[in-house]
Each structure stands twice: as C-alpha cells, then as structure tokens.
Structure 1
Amino acid sequence: MSASAAPPATPSTAPAAPEQPPAPAPLGRPFAAQLTSTGLANLGDGVLATLAPLVALGLTTSPTQIGLLTAATWLPWLLLGIAAGAIIDRVDRRRAQVVALAVRAALLGTAAALVAADALTMPLLVLVVLAYGATEVFADLGATAIVPDLVPTDRLSAANGRIVGVQQVANSFLGAPLAGALIVVGAGLGFGVSAALAALAAVTLAVGLRGSYRRVADEATTRTTTRTTTAIDDAAPTRSAVRTGLTQVRDGLAFLVRHPVLRPLVITSGVLNMASTGYFAVFVLWAVGPTSAAGLTQSQYPLIMVGFAAGAVAGSLLAERVQRRFGEVPTILGTLTANVLLMAVPVLWPNGWVFAGTLAVLGLLNTIGNVVSMSLRQRLVPRHLLGRVGGAGRTLAFGLMPVGAVLGGVVAERWSLPTTFLGAVVVSLAACAYLALTVRPSTVAALLERAEAPAPR
C-alpha cells in the first residue's frame, strides 16, 4: 500500500509587514568640516558684534558716530553683494572662504595691536568693522553656495537647519557672553580672540574639506568667451575677462528678476527686512527704562533677547520635519504670516514675560521660514549661478534695512512708538499677501521638477 502524497503547501496569508521609510542619507564629513568652520567664524562674529559697540562707547559719545558703526556692518552687502556673487561663481568656493577668513584674522589681529598701542580711534574702528563686513560678504556667499555640493538634495533643509542653529548658538549664546567677559580684561584680548577664531575657522576648512569646489560656467557663456577671446588682439584677455565678469553679473540679476518664484521671494524678504529693522530699531525704547511701557532694566533686556535665540535653535532642528509635513510654500507663507501677527503682541501686552515668550516663538517661526526658503532657492538656482543669484538677492533684501531703521525712528519721534510697531505689522502683512498671490505650490513643484531633472546627454 503506497503512502498518500502530502498536500501541497499553501502560501501564507499573513499580511506583509509595512515597508519602513528609508533612512535619510547622512550629511557626511565634508559638511561637518564646513559646519565646524561656520561655528568658529560665527563665534568670532558674536564676540565682535558685542565688543565693537562697547569699545566705541569708550571712544565717543556721538550718536552719529555710533550710527556709522552700525551702518558699516551692512554697507558691504549693498556695495559688494552682487560683484562678490559673480566672483564666488568664478573661483573655488572653498578657497574663497579660506582666503576671506584669513584676511579677517589678519585684520582683527591688526585691531588688537592698535588697542595694545593705544592707537585705536573711532574712524579706525569704523574702518575695521567695514573691512570685516567685506570679508563676511565673501565668506557667507561662499558658505551658502557650497552647501548643495556637500549634501544630498533631499537633505538641504536639514543641512541649512544645522547651519542656522550653529550660527544662533555661536552668536547669541556663546559670543555675546564671551565678549562681555573679555572686555573686562581688555579690548585688545577681545580682538585677539576673534582673530584666533577666524584663523582656526580657515584652517578647519582648508584641512577638513578637500577637493575643488569651482563651478564650471554654462556652455553658452564658455562658447561666447572663446569666440570673443580668439577674435581680438593680445590685449583681449583683460577686456574679455572684464566683459565676462559684467556679463555674469547681469546673468545673475536677470535670472533673479525673471524667475517667477525667486523674484517674489526677494521682494517679500526686502520689505519684511525693512519693516522688522524699523520695528526693532526702536523696540529698546518700548522695553527698557523707568518711563518705558515694560519698565525693564538694562540688565534684563538681554535676557529676553536670549529667548529669540532659543526659539531659533529649536526652529533649525524642526525645519526639515515641518517642510516634509506641509511643503515649501505653505511652510514659508504660514511661518511668515504668523511671525508678523506676533509682532503686534508686545504692543498690546507690554510685559517682560510676554516679550520673552513672544520673541522665542518669533525665533522659532522665523528660522523655520528662513531655512525652508534658503533650501528652496538652492534647489531652484543652477549651481553655477548660486553665487551670483545669492549676491544679487542679498543685496536687494538687505539694501532696505538701513532705510527701515531711519523710517522707524522718524515715525516714532513724529507720532509714537506704537505707530512704528503697528505700521511695520501692516506693511509686513501686505508683503505676505503679495507673496501668497504670486507664488503657487504647483508652480514651485513644476520648477523644482525641471531644475532637478537630469541634464540631457
């Protein structure tokens, strides 16, 4: 009797385990070197930002000269931003940062020597801050333009969030208190420490980030330059280089002005920067002093500003997650609008605790919006144009900030402080409405798809 055949095996009916989302790609060691260098440079920024006004108070009591010191901080962006962007696109972006940081270290070392020799004057201090700002233009543009070459495209928000977080910690949490401690010992030591930090940032970048990060120009520019160079005499290379540089500047501006997303973003940023600068230029008068609305003391005021830095650090960590949840355009519009509405809170409830909480939320929302907006620009702009477009954008966005500071003071003196604050809110809401009407998520999605599509062979 033969044994009966075993029944055929049946496939399991158990449900398959849900697929886990892939782990995000690491940011990598090259980005770690860039981030470390950024942290060291910004720690020096934080020290100098607090040190320079304190040193100025020992040199002059003139409000005009103190104002010149503040203007010297932003003037290099207005004068050099566009040209520096074109240069960043023509040179190695890593080397540009190293050179800028090395020049900064030498400059601050000279300032320390002047203090030691008791030869520092107010005009020299203004020149030091002005030259320092010029190095910042090149270093910052190079640092922003190099990030897409260091990390995967889908991790740009995470990378930019870490950069903004490190900047806030270095500038506000560490730089300002360090400057306060150094000024007790001597201003020369403060300048010397800033010089050492700039030198260490340059060395970190030179040693930790290897390879070439020079972007080759597009084929059309290369062909035009070749034809021009071969068609003229021996003096042509210099004239051709000048024409090529001017052409590249024009290309960056034209790309920005014609772009249906970048143009509204830059216009909105410029108006918001102007309004917020006017708002915070006189905010200290609303918060500090026995006759102010909040009645804070001078020692209490820096403590409420720490809340902004704390919120900014939290926002830098949440930016990538918020962007993935809501998308680029809703995140930018939502954070900007909420930010503007919160600016009315200190006017309606002038209280130190309310100020601290409001500034913390402002820092959170502002940072999330800035990180997502920065990452979006980096994805929309061709990499060989990042320096030029970034320089043009920052020039336009930062150029209205001195105007806002002057307007804020004039309006407050002629009418009242609340008029300045609420006027800034109204202008900012108009800018947010303009952005909402001109930028659609579908437009952004189509442009991102086109920008990130593989180039045809």
Structure 2
Amino acid sequence: MTTTAATPTAVTATTGDTRSAAPRTVRTARARTAPGRGLGPRFRALLVASGAANLGDGILVVAVPLLAIGFTRSPGRIALITAAAWLPWLLLGIVAGVVVDRADRRTVQLVALTSRATLLAAASWLATAGSLTFAWLLAVVLAYGITEVFADLASHALVPDLVAADQLPTANGRIVSVQEVTNTFLGAPLSGALLALGTGWVLGAPAGLAALAVVVLWRGLPAARRPARPAAAPADAGRATDTAPASGAARRALADVREGLSLLMRHRVLRPLVLSGALVNMTSTAYMSVFVLWAVGPESRVGLSASLYPLLFTLSAVGAVVGSTLVPHVLTVVSEVRVMVLGWSTAFVALVVPVLVPHPAALAATLLVVGVCVTLGNVVSQTVRQRIVPRELLGRTGGASRTLVFGLMPVGALVGGAVAEHLGVAATLLGAVAVSVVVAAGLAASMRGVTPADLAAPGTR
C-alpha cells in the first residue's frame, strides 16, 4: 500500500553517489542485455511480477480507507491507517537497504512477497469469519507496510542489474506505466467490485496476486549471487581480526548505514531533492489521510458514494500512463531538473482545486493532472538515481533516502488527523497545499545552477 498511488503526490526518493564502478555480477547482467536488443525476458519477469503485486496494492489502497470509515469517521483514527502504512519506512528503511545490498535481491523480494501473501490470506480469513476489527485492520496495514519496504527496495535495485544504462529511462517508464495501470486504473474499480462481494474478497484477492508475483519471479529470474562488495581497507581488515565475528558484522552494518546517509547528504542535486521530498510527502500525506472524509459519504463536501470514489481514481492512472510515455519526448526539450521541479510543483498546486470546488468533476480533473505531473517527476528522478549511484550501493542509499522521504509520511498522517479534529478537514487540506507550494519554491531556488555534469554517471564527468 505504500506506493505512489496511495498518495498521489508521493515523490520518489532520489539518491546518488559518484564513486566506484558497477560490480562484476552487474557487468555480467548488463552484457546479456545489449542496447537496442530489447529489455530481455528477465526484465519482463520483473515487470509482470511488479504488475501483479501492484494490482493487489491498488485494490487495498482504495479498499482500506473505505473499510476504515465503516468502523469510524474520526479523522484521528482514520489518519492512523495511513500512518501505519508508512511507519515501516521510518523504522526499517535504512536497515532494509543494507539487507538489499548484502543479500540476493531476488531472494529478498521473494521472501517479502511470500510473507505478504500469507498475511493477507490470514486477514481474509478473519474478515470472512466476521472477526475483523479496526485494531486488526491497523495491524494488517502495518505488517503489510513492512513487506512493502523490502519488496520495493529490492525491486528498484534489480532494474539496473537487468537492463543497460541507456535503457533505464525506457525500463523505468514501463515499470511506472504498468504499476499505475494495475495500481489505479485496474485496482481501483476492481476494489469496488470486490467490496461489493465482501471484505474477505477484497483482502483475499491481493493475497493471490502476491502469490502469483512470487511464482513469476521464481521462474523468470534465476538465482543470483550477492552483489559484489568492495574489499575492506587494510586498517578495517586488521581491526576485524581482533573482533568477534558478530561484532564485526554489526560494525560493518553501521558503516553501511553511515555510508548511505553520507553519500546522500553531500550530493549537489540529490540532497535538496531528498530533503524537499521528505517535507512535501509529509504534507501530502496529511492531505490524503483525511481526504476520504472530504470526498466520500453523504456528510462529506464532495458527496461521492463508496462505489464511485474508486472509479474516479482511475483517472490518476490514466494521467500516470500519459506521463510515463511523455518522458522521453519531454526530455528532448526540457532538462531533467526542470521536469522534476515543474512536474511536482504543478501537482501540488492542483490539489487545491477539489477543496475550493468540491465537485466530482473538479476532483476528476485534479486526479488526471496530478497523475501526469507526478509521474513525469518520479520517472526522471528514479532514472537519475539509477544512473549516478553505483549498483552495489543502490540498496543502502535507497533505504537511506526513503527513510527520510517516506519516514515523515506517518508524521504527516498523524498531524493531518490532529489538525482535522480541531480545525476541520478543509483547513488540513488547504494548509497541506500551502506548505507544499512553499517547499517546491525552495527546491526550485536550490536547483539553480545545476549542470549536466552534476547528473552524470560515475566516471563520465
């Protein structure tokens, strides 16, 4: 549930480094996928698995808030659901990044998706037995978020291992397009249909889709060695011989964490992107955590029914597909930095429309615009990250950046719920938009003077 569809303005974390070359295992993978010869069957397996898992995400992203308002309409309690979905990124993002860099990324993804399928199957049984409560729903969302941290980091880190560097924009565009089509365009209306059948169905279907993703990855991606790691410096090697193995492993893990954060914070472009992304995602989560109360139900301002709400969100997916296909064309006339800044800024401003004009048509137009603009920014930022970060460091830098970018989202959800309890939902939505616009202006100012060399791959500057 922690996908960009869950929060239409969620900014993809971007991390970077300028140091070592790709490891041996990555060079071998890239040699098999020569430029101009297609993205290859292994990438297609990852794409299909991603589509299946994200279809399950899309069902749950829409269904869970609707299930929650069946238990309560308290803004504070509803916001807890969103906070629980994003909390694992704050607690586990860096740790999961280290795991992804140290272990076989395929195995990490398989374990995470298998755990997800088991969790949702158990939740479906609870719902069928009539034992699902708000507390159980909250626990399921939290556990699901844990599986998402590991599965998401492993999936993103696998992409540069499967395609050549010049194919990354195309590969990322296809992944985003498939994710948005399955997550929102298909997942949202399917969620409404499954809700009509019963809560057990809306939780059980994503369990089956997670199991399908496991099968596709198991058969389509052969087992791989761990990512190669740089040899330890002589001083480090000497200290390791004087320390117990467990202590040495802990010290190396902490060093990995420090390395990811250090690389992230010193990069000319990536530091402002990550810091502003963290602030914007916090405010946008405050917005979306209570938006269901603004839009759904006879007592809401928009007055949507629970069945129409998922259908409107398909427009976000339409916009995302359009945005993903526009990326190569837009980049021929606009720089990468401007695409990111303008795309995200436009999306933030658009979110004021359904607040000032609480009508289904205004909401529909907003979702379409947000889908296009956020996707343009996210595809470009992901491509930049994968280009400039050495592949053996993608996990830990991705974990470090997402800990910051996604880690503030549960804080935003709780703040949004608290503000809505005291000042009302409208004040929360307008305040979130205002802060996002200010942060976007600061990002634009900080990116002045950025040159193509700042976005270049290691060894090409």
- Contact preservation (8 Å) 1:346, 1:358: yes
TM-superposed CA distance for 1:54, in Å, is 5.1
- Contact preservation (8 Å) 2:45, 2:221: yes
Q: Deviations over 1:316-369 (max 9, x none)?
A: 222232223312111112212222332333344443323212220111011111
- Contact preservation (8 Å) 2:97, 2:399: yes
Map of 1:6 onto structure 2: none
Give the fraction of aligned pairs with identical amino acids, expressed as a percent.
51
- Choose the corresponding residue for 1:228, options 227, 234, 239: 239
Higher mean alpha-carbon deviation, 329-338 vs 433-442, is at 433-442
Map of 2:10 onto structure 1: none
Matched, 1:74 2:74: no
Unaligned segments of structure 2, at least 5 residues: 1-34
CA spacing shift, 1:64–1:428, aligned 2, 3 Å = closer
CA spacing shift, 1:125–1:260, aligned 2, 3 Å = same
Matched, 1:85 2:97: yes
CA spacing shift, 1:63–1:334, aligned 2, 3 Å = closer
Amino acid at match of 1:91: A
The structure with the larger Rg is 1
Q: Over aligned residues, Cα RMSD in angstroms?
A: 2.9
Q: Deviations over 1:179-207 (max 9, x none)?
A: 33334444334433322211211111121
CA spacing shift, 1:98–1:452, aligned 2, 3 Å = farther
- Choose the corresponding residue for 1:144, options 150, 156, 166: 156
- Choose the corresponding residue for 1:397, options 376, 384, 405: 405
**TM-score, scaled relative to structure 1:** 0.84
How far apart in 1 are the matches of 2:81 and 2:415? 18
Higher mean alpha-carbon deviation, 173-182 vs 290-299, is at 290-299
TM-superposed CA distance for 1:224, in Å, is 5.5
CA spacing shift, 1:439–1:67, aligned 2, 3 Å = closer
**TM-score, scaled relative to structure 2:** 0.83
TM-superposed CA distance for 1:258, in Å, is 1.6
- Contact preservation (8 Å) 2:102, 2:226: yes
Matched, 1:195 2:204: no
Describe how 1:355-374 pairs up with structure 2 within 5 A: 355-374=363-382
Describe how 1:310-389 pairs up with structure 2 within 5 A: 310-389=318-397
CA spacing shift, 1:224–1:447, aligned 2, 3 Å = farther
Describe how 1:57-456 pairs up with structure 2 within 5 A: 66-212=78-224, 214-219=226-231, 221=232, 223=234, 226-232=237-243, 236-288=244-296, 294-411=302-419, 419-440=427-448, 442-443=450-451, 445-449=452-456, 451-453=458-460
TM-superposed CA distance for 1:141, in Å, is 0.3
Unaligned segments of structure 1, at least 5 residues: 1-22
Amino acid at match of 2:58: G
SS in 2 for 1:451: coil
Q: Deviations over 1:72-127 (max 9, x none)?
A: 21111111111101111101111111111112222223333444555544434333
How far apart in 2 are the matches of 1:195 and 1:38? 14
Map of 1:16 onto structure 2: none
TM-superposed CA distance for 1:231, in Å, is 3.0
Q: Deviations over 1:261-302 (max 9, x none)?
A: 111011111121122223333444554566765555554443
How far apart in 2 are the matches of 1:60 and 1:412? 14
Amino acid at match of 1:428: S
CA spacing shift, 1:252–1:341, aligned 2, 3 Å = same
Higher mean alpha-carbon deviation, 445-454 vs 428-437, is at 445-454
How far apart in 2 are the matches of 1:60 and 1:293? 18
